[in-house]
Structure 1
Amino acid sequence: MSTANSKRFAPVFNPTTLVIVAGALILSAAMGIRQTFGLFIGPFSFDRGLPVTLIAFAIALHNLVWGFAQPFAGAAADRYGSAPVVAFGATTFAAGLGLAAVAPNGALLIVGMGLLVGIGVSCTTFGVVLPAVGRIATPEKRSMAMGLVSAGGSAGQVLMIPLVQGIRLSSGVAASLFVLAFLMLLIAPLGIVLDRRASVGTPSHESAAAPLREVLALAIRHRGYRLLTLGFFTCGFQLAFIATHLPEYLSLCHMPVGLGATALALIGLFNMAGSWACGWLGGRFRQHHLLGWLYLIRSVTIGAFFLLPKSTASVVIFAAVMGLTWLGTVPLTSGLVAKVFGTRHLGSLFGVCFLSHQIGSFLGAWLGGLAFDLTGSYALLWEATVVTGLIAAMLHFPIDDTAVNTLALRAEPAGA
């Protein structure tokens, strides 16, 4: 009886499942918390007298810091394991939230929500979590596993936004930020689980792959990697602008109070299905083609939402469609990098690619605030998100996804 039961439940607790669950929890906390920052623009502006441009800059800066720190965080996780990287990142993230909670001026807000949060996010999100999942999953199930982690991570956005909204309205901005800091500290030990290994995971030949310097040089020369990196800029630009400025934009459109928070929560809810679906599709169809169609769908949706009359129904539909395409780019992009270059240096290679994403995130969040302060409207940024999305779609379709042999690098002459 006990033997039968142990056989029945053993697969549920296999190493791959544990890594997926731990990765989803880490992403839920880190990504869910940063998606709430748009809810603080109004309170910081009215209660502390800070200009919208400065608040948007602080939020945008964490995206830029995240991008520049991500290759280093990914390389550290590749070399030393995820446990110390996640623990350091969660602690730094919490410190940044705590500083933002008590910041009396814009300079400290920039240090807390910009610099410290940016470093913390780089150690607790995709560039550290997804490579750990990619190494433990079999190649045929890798895209699905990454999609599951990304989908599970979206639960944080669904839960965090109403939690923050409720605490902020009842107890104030500082209390809500301190609660978020405490939640980040709770996930610090979960990096230990990400370091588990499975015999069916990474192919043995990848442990003998060429050094990072040589693989990175090859990636930079690879046309497909360059196109993927350029296209990833658009993802960050679109998502950061919408996540940061959608609540304020809906207020300007005289939408009901709280609809902005509801829209962000709906994006997170539908992103759970969208990320899972993109991971599943990525295991069955060519990932760069899926990315091209995803950017096209996004751009058409954004353009229609901006041009058509606003109503509660249109906001809900917009949030649903955007949610389905929100973070589906991440398992597809990371899976494509793993397919072409292997998983040995996936954290580093994805980190470099992700830097482009975060430069886009910085510009999307910051330029939204700047455009509003200068023109009193978000129209220019809505139009820019559509144009950049169409360009990104065209960049992805011609990508060559043929796997390269990193073992052959040692035999090639320099600059080949």
Structure 2
Amino acid sequence: MLQVLLCAGMVVTLSMGIRHGFGLWLQPITQDMGWSRESFSLAIAVQNMAWGILGIFVGILADRWGAFKILIAGAALYALGLAGMALAPTTWLFILSTGLVIGAAQSGTTYAVVYGVLGRQIPAARRSWAMGLTAAAGSFGQFFMVPVEGALIAQLGWSNALLALALVVLLIGVLAFGLREPGFGKGQALAPRTQSVREALKEALGHSSFVFLTLGYFVCGFQVMFIGVHMPSYLKDFGMAPQVASYSLALIGLFNIFGTYIAGNLGQQLPKQYLLSGIYGLRALATVLFLLAPLSPWSVYAYAAVMGFLWLSTVPLTNGILAQIFGVQHLSMLGGITFFSHQLGSFMGIWLGGYLYDSQGNYDMLWYLMIVLGVAGALINLPVRETAIARPALATTPKA
């Protein structure tokens, strides 16, 4: 179990740590290349949509064949996408590499695939804790990697910094060896199937709690990616030094370590749906207070710390509920579907941020949407129920 936890945590640390710093490249790239903020935002938005859409199918493959091959391919694509991001001469090639290629890579190197391994390898009594610990590792990646990325940009220039990260991300392929599962390479699924993919999809889509979780995850994606991509530029527009943005993103990562770990632990003891509702409600309240307070580095740091504590706390709770209701046979696929909604929200938060800034000259409307969606997320999660689904006796013949 220790090997699985260590390798899963390090994979997420690298994959999520790198992508959380993409907002630091917005101004250097757009200013150097003469592109609009909407163009950069569209590329990152496409990345999130590609990640979400492909994550469903990658989840199906990971559930059937294990995570090893998926992680190897994902690491190679991630490196290719970062190199393309560094060298793309036009906005369309930039969108192709930054959006489609890196998005595909992230679908195979982040939570849906890794949590599928944890769900199958970690006992149910420790599952929520293990997912929280792994999410905390992703948060540490943000805390550690964002300042490193900022330093790389300052020392090497934005293009060479991306090429350096392309080499670093290949370590995910090495870590994949620690996540090989029984049945790997033998031409068979990891466990006999008592449900087909079609049956599992029909069951989940007809379950109200699955629908509510999926809708709630939209809110999470919108909020975290608007802040992650546009907060650095928002602060610079108000004349703040670049390090304020780097420190604020690092603070989000630091406090997220504690938030996700605590959420995973609390999920073993308290109803997860109420914890999720509280997280979304507190995000809305924190944003209201941030907008009402005079803007200063200290108000930014305070907001970053609070939002960091709430940042990815939704991840172990949402996936824990999925495992509790539906079991682990199709966990990567079901997690991929809910995560698609997360990425749809991410697309809207990123793209709307760039579009409305270019058209209105400010981010005011996006901040108001952050608040409204936070309240909606709090209400949507209240009806969720964690009770394991009651199924009729299933045939013993394995299904594809």
Where 2:108 maps in the other structure, the secondary structure is: helix
Shift of 1:406: 4.5
Matches within 5 A, 1:193-204: 193-196=178-181
Where 1:262 maps in the other structure, the secondary structure is: helix
Amino acid in the other structure paired with 2:283: R
Deviations 1:7-32 (A, max 9, x none): xxxxxxxxx11111101111011101
Where 1:209 maps in the other structure, the secondary structure is: coil
Give yes or no for contact 1:210–1:407 (8 Å, CA) kept in 2: no
Matches within 5 A, 1:64-103: 64-103=49-88
1:256 is matched with which residue? 241
Q: Distance in 2 between matches of 1:34 and 1:19?
A: 23
Shift of 1:289: 0.9
Shift of 1:113: 0.6
1:235 is matched with which residue? 220
2:369 is matched with which residue? 384
Q: Distance in 2 between matches of 1:407 and 1:135?
A: 23
Give yes or no for contact 2:66–2:181 (8 Å, CA) kept in 1: no
Does residue 34 in structure 1 map to residue 19 in structure 2?
yes
Amino acid in the other structure paired with 2:88: A
Where 2:81 maps in the other structure, the secondary structure is: helix
Shift of 1:169: 1.1
Match for residue 52 of structure 1 among 30, 37, 40: 37
Q: Distance in 1 between matches of 2:394 and 2:313?
A: 32
Deviation larger for 287-296 or 181-190: 181-190
Amino acid in the other structure paired with 1:398: P
Matches within 5 A, 1:134-213: 134-196=119-181, 207-213=192-198
Where 1:124 maps in the other structure, the secondary structure is: coil
Shift of 1:400: 2.0
Q: Distance in 2 between matches of 1:363 and 1:410?
A: 43
Where 1:324 maps in the other structure, the secondary structure is: helix
1:224 is matched with which residue? 209
Amino acid in the other structure paired with 2:353: G
Amino acid in the other structure paired with 2:229: T
Q: Distance in 2 between matches of 1:301 and 1:179?
A: 36
2:296 is matched with which residue? 311
Does residue 275 in structure 1 map to residue 260 in structure 2?
yes
Give yes or no for contact 1:227–1:399 (8 Å, CA) kept in 2: yes
Matches within 5 A, 1:316-355: 316-355=301-340
Q: Distance in 2 between matches of 1:209 and 1:405?
A: 14
Shift of 1:196: 3.9
Shift of 1:407: 5.7
Where 2:242 maps in the other structure, the secondary structure is: coil
Deviations 1:309-337 (A, max 9, x none): 11111111111111111001000000000
Shift of 1:39: 0.5
Deviation larger for 185-194 or 29-38: 185-194
Give yes or no for contact 2:194–2:395 (8 Å, CA) kept in 1: no
Give yes or no for contact 1:208–1:407 (8 Å, CA) kept in 2: no
Give yes or no for contact 1:232–1:353 (8 Å, CA) kept in 2: yes
Shift of 1:278: 0.4
Shift of 1:105: 1.2
Shift of 1:389: 1.0
Shift of 1:195: 2.7
Match for residue 362 of structure 1 among 330, 347, 350: 347
Does residue 265 in structure 1 map to residue 250 in structure 2?
yes
1:18 is matched with which residue? 3
Residue 349 and residue 263 in structure 1: after superposition, are their counterparts in 2 closer, same or farther (change >3 A)? same
Give yes or no for contact 2:254–2:308 (8 Å, CA) kept in 1: yes
Shift of 1:43: 0.6
> Under a length normalisation based on structure 2, what TM-score does the superposition of the two structures give?
0.95
Give yes or no for contact 1:85–1:123 (8 Å, CA) kept in 2: yes
Q: Distance in 2 between matches of 1:233 and 1:190?
A: 30
Shift of 1:179: 1.1
Residue 359 and residue 406 in structure 1: after superposition, are their counterparts in 2 closer, same or farther (change >3 A)? same
2:188 is matched with which residue? none
Q: Distance in 2 between matches of 1:236 and 1:248?
A: 19
Amino acid in the other structure paired with 1:394: L
Q: Distance in 2 between matches of 1:302 and 1:178?
A: 35
Where 1:399 maps in the other structure, the secondary structure is: coil
Amino acid in the other structure paired with 1:132: V
1:130 is matched with which residue? 115
Q: Distance in 1 between matches of 2:394 and 2:336?
A: 21
Give yes or no for contact 1:264–1:319 (8 Å, CA) kept in 2: yes
Deviation larger for 154-163 or 267-276: 154-163
5+ long unaligned stretches in structure 1: 1-15, 198-205, 412-416
Q: Distance in 2 between matches of 1:184 and 1:308?
A: 39
Q: Distance in 1 between matches of 2:39 and 2:8?
A: 33
Give yes or no for contact 1:341–1:406 (8 Å, CA) kept in 2: no
Amino acid in the other structure paired with 1:364: G
Where 2:232 maps in the other structure, the secondary structure is: helix
Matches within 5 A, 1:372-411: 372-406=357-391, 408=393
- Deviating above 6 A after TM superposition, structure 1's stretches of 4 or more consecutive aligned residues are none
Shift of 1:50: 0.8
The sequence identity of aligned pairs, in percent, is 39
Amino acid in the other structure paired with 1:379: D
Shift of 1:95: 0.3
Aligned residues: 389
